[in-house]
Structure 1
């Protein structure tokens, strides 16, 4: 139903329209535009919640707005290559450590807030505070309880059981903590070797905690990279999570932006060689400066043919070789046949801007 024409000044029409709205507000809406209730699937889609989606699915809706402040790890492509290398190294090291068939797989790499991650850790678990000595910052390595008990059974010769290992509601014993520490040190050594092609960094185990409150190495709202790896030993195993705050990996952010090992930013060696070859083949004009002195303008204007200008120089004193406004070298004058010649007596002046200066400038620009 359409509203009456605003130009219609009839008070009866306006009163009739107001009474109709009070009696049935939906009467102002067309027959195909009536309000309907959203079902649960439509509400989940609007808010961005999908219970069937995995952790790697891109967030949508309200969840995407909430997490928009996080930096995606995909902007650091070298990080995934490093941890793929860690998976291969850890598989070999843990097989030698346990003398058993161990399979290590990389589940996911994601961005999380530090506080949300601490609240999501299933207890009991062992949280290891690790220090990256060269980066002068910290990270977390979390080992869940099922992996701890599975590793203890393997190391102490326990019988093979199918299914998950029963987790007892008790604190870890000294022997269990010592064996878990040894496994964590093996993984940290492999992490050091995985980062070697990118940078030299040593990871040191600072302390081991069982309460997440004592493992707070960053502010709850700070963003961090979470790496989830699964370790399987036949029918038993568990999960290891490595959490690195963005402040920790900031010193190597430029290296992590590489698409492959050894990539160089902003420099092409082919064009560098071509440019150097062309510069060496270029022709330049050199000027031999015998002497320079200042004269009054009136004397210069009064010079006539035959006048003599005395230079305060001797034949054995060096002269300046100049290209444009740049002094290149010193030389001694002589002659070869009927031609005047010069012999360079001092080396060329080193350039004030070197390639190291350009590289430092590139790094400063990339760091902004």
Structure 2
């Protein structure tokens, strides 16, 4: 047995020596530490060329990780889907033309990034959310502005709206776009109505993104792009809501469906209440209460009499379990004892009666 143990110990020592040699070979010297070259640094920061530019770099993922994704607010998508359906109807009445509104997409980004990406020229409508005490931004692009002006002023169908770039918008154009914005904001209020009663009120029109700032540049916002098509004409509407604006209804926007209530089922509550009304309960009439010694109670025999202090017409209490519910008058009907309920006992009296019984 000792020979086998010596062999095992020798084999174990040899294996440890082999691992130590392998570590010594594979371990790099302190001077040979890995240093990133320029190409790897450019790739990390997102400056690499070719197909690498199409994918988000590691640094961009780190920066964007703080954004709140709109996918975490499922009810918000339902609200904007309802807005699309409402706008399709109201814009047809507004323009007396065949209008189709579609949702191009939703995204989360920083407010400063959006201001830098607004395609100019465009009109920016700043609106206030009264109940939530914050603001939002609605941007109408140049194509839709000229299309709305052309439609409302009687332009011929089948022809594209004439665009004159490089000039400021006229008073007529601003007035017509303001009417369009108010129609859209009214539909937005109606879209949020099932969730919360809120009013989106128009404040002003701006053409310079610097004057349309409604939030800090680093704040997160949710951007919704709507496409408005009127036969051969149309354009885009971009609706921007900071997450700070949506904060008062964030709990409601987290719902998976309309009217969701976590941990509560109103149907079951109604059913339980109806069944409780049909439940049979026993009421005990307390004719008298006496305190007797235990020795007297033990000496009671069949045929003994206990004299009760209750007399005909005396007030008695009716109890359900240990809770006093009513006070009535004792009497007789035919050959039976009867009680006529006189009044309900207040809750304080009920609790006092229950405490007396417990004592």
**TM-score normalised over the length of structure 1:** 0.68
Moved more, 181-190 or 142-151: 142-151
Kindly indicate whether the alpha-carbon contact (under 8 Å) linking 1:102 and 1:233 is maintained by their aligned counterparts in 2. yes
Per-residue CA deviation, residues 320-341 of structure 1 (Å, 9 max, x unaligned), is 3233443322222234455443
Structure 2 residue 188 is matched with structure 1 residue 216: no
Number of the residue aligned with 2:186: 189
* 1:69 and 2:87 matched: no
| 1:319 CA displacement | 2.6
Contact 1:228 1:239 in 2 (8 A): yes
- After superposition, the Cα gap between the structure-2 partners of 1:310 and 1:280, relative to the gap in structure 1 and judged at 3 Å, is closer
Match of 1:225 in 2: 222
For residues 64 and 336 of structure 1, the distance between their equivalents in structure 2, rounded to whole angstroms, comes to 87
8 A Cα contact 1:139 1:245, kept in partner: yes
Contact 1:288 1:322 (C-alpha < 8 Å) held by counterparts: yes
Q: Is the partner of 2:226 in helix, strand or coil?
A: strand
Q: Which runs of 5+ in 1 are unaligned?
A: 9-13, 30-34, 54-58, 352-368
2:129–2:198: 8 Å Cα contact kept in structure 1?
yes
- Would you say the 8 A contact 2:186–2:200 is kept in 1? yes
Are the aligned partners of 2:47 and 2:53 in contact in 1 as well (CA < 8 Å)?
no
Is 2:137 aligned against 1:140?
A: yes
Deviation at residue 157 of structure 1 after TM alignment: 4.1
**Is this contact kept in 2: 1:146–1:165, CA < 8 A?**
no
Out of 146, 150, 153, the position equivalent to 1:149 is: 146
Structure 1 residues 23-72: Cα deviation after superposition (integer angstroms, max 9, x where no partner): x959xx9xxxxx9x7699998699xx97658xxxxx78544432333332
Alignment partner of 2:109 out of 112, 134, 142 = 112
Alignment partners' CA distance in 2, 1:263 and 1:157: 47
- List gaps (5 residues or longer) in structure 2: 1-16, 349-359
Offset, 1:181: 0.4
Tell me if structure 1 keeps the 8 A contact 2:44–2:57. Answer: no
Moved more, 334-343 or 168-177: 334-343
Q: Residue 360 of structure 1 aligns with which residue?
A: none
Alpha-carbon separation, structure 2, partners of 1:21 and 1:61: 29
Q: CA deviation at 1:350?
A: 7.3
The residue matched to 2:65 in structure 1 has which SS? helix
Q: Offset of 1:225 from its aligned partner?
A: 2.3
Between the aligned partners of 1:137 and 1:43, the Cα distance in structure 2 is: 35
Q: What is aligned with 1:328? A: 325
Q: Which of 90, 93, 100 is 1:93 aligned to?
A: 90
Give the C-alpha shift of residue 231 in structure 1.
1.5
SS of alignment partner, residue 97 of structure 2: coil
CA contact (8 A) 2:45 2:60 kept: no
**Residues 115-134 of structure 1: pairs in structure 2 closer than 5 A:** 115-134=112-131
- Tell me how far apart the structure 1 counterparts of residues 244 and 75 of structure 2 sit (CA, whole Å): 17
Q: CA deviation at 1:178?
A: 0.8
Structure with greater helix share of residues = 2
Answering whether residue 203 of structure 2 is matched by residue 237 of structure 1, we say: no
Rounded Cα–Cα distance in structure 2 between residues aligned with 1:232 and 1:79: 23
Q: How does 1:276-287 map to 2 (within 5 A)?
A: 276-287=273-284
Contact 1:146 1:167 in 2 (8 A): no
Taking the TM superposition and a 5 Å limit, the aligned residue runs for 1:260-279 are: 260-279=257-276
- Alpha-carbon deviations, 1:309-368, whole Å to 9, x = none? 996x875443332334433222222344554432222247579xxxxxxxxxxxxxxxxx
**Residue aligned with 1:86, SS:** helix
SS at the partner of 1:346?
strand
Q: Distance in 2 between matches of 1:219 and 1:40?
A: 29
Q: Separation in 2 of the partners of 1:289 and 1:265?
A: 44
- Residue by residue over 1:292-320, the C-alpha shift from the partner in whole angstroms, topping out at 9 and shown as x without a partner, is 69x8xxx9568688999996x87544333
TM-score under structure 2 normalisation?
0.69
Moved more, 260-269 or 154-163: 154-163
Q: What is the number of residues matched between the two proteins?
A: 319
Q: How far apart are 1:228 and its partner, in Å?
A: 0.9
